[in-house]
Amino acid sequence: MSDIAILKEMIKKTATVPLQNDRNKKKVILKEPPPADYSVTIYGMPDDDQTIVIKADTFTAPKGIFADSKCECKRADFVIIADNDEARVIICIEMKSGKGGTEKEIIQQLKGAQCFVAYCREIGQSFWEHQDFLKDYVYRFVSVRNISISKRPTRSSGKTNTHDRPDRMLKVTSPKGLHFNRLL
């Protein structure tokens, strides 16, 4: 059983975002519900059997256990896990409609999403008895801001570093639509 198949069995459908057809290719619309009420579309997604998109903030914050003194209960909005010919990747995405949220807060949310995936990894290894579950995947961290402003071209930070840690996230502003390969 593939890692993606295990995740699709493990995660409730209500906590995932379905892919949609877009001219013989796939896309996903990441939507924040009201009162935020904004969305970002990612084009060129891998096929359904190669990808799962999880609404990570659906998972109830574990404040009944953790003190949250380091904001360890925060999570990013979405996690995309893909395993195709191009990459085995876990992309944590935090979205903001405007300039809201400090960089420190966004880093905390991205770290929380990474911890959520680590929890899923442990469940897959223990309960599905799949010892290589989510092994050899690379992480990518993305912050998307100014979503409600649609007249500017999409821009990303000029940094050339790989966005493989929350503190080195790819910063995208005013997105009209993103392409999956750009997030890798």
Q: pTM of the prediction?
A: 0.91
Amino acid at the residue 180: F
d(CA 130, CA 126): 7
Q: What is the mean pLDDT of residues 4-31?
A: 96
Q: Express each pLDDT in 96-151 by its tens digit.
A: 887 677 899 999 999 999 999 999 999 999 999 999 999 999 999 999 987 765 44
CB 30 within 8 A of CB 78: yes
Paired with 29 in beta bridges are: 41
CB 6 within 8 A of CB 125: no
Range of the domain at 91: 3-183
Q: How many domains does the chain have?
A: 1
Q: Express each pLDDT in 46-87 by its tens digit.
A: 999 999 999 998 888 888 899 889 888 899 999 999 999 888
Residue 159: how many other CB atoms lie within 10 Å? 11
Q: Omega of the bond prior to 33 within 30 degrees of 0, cis? A: no
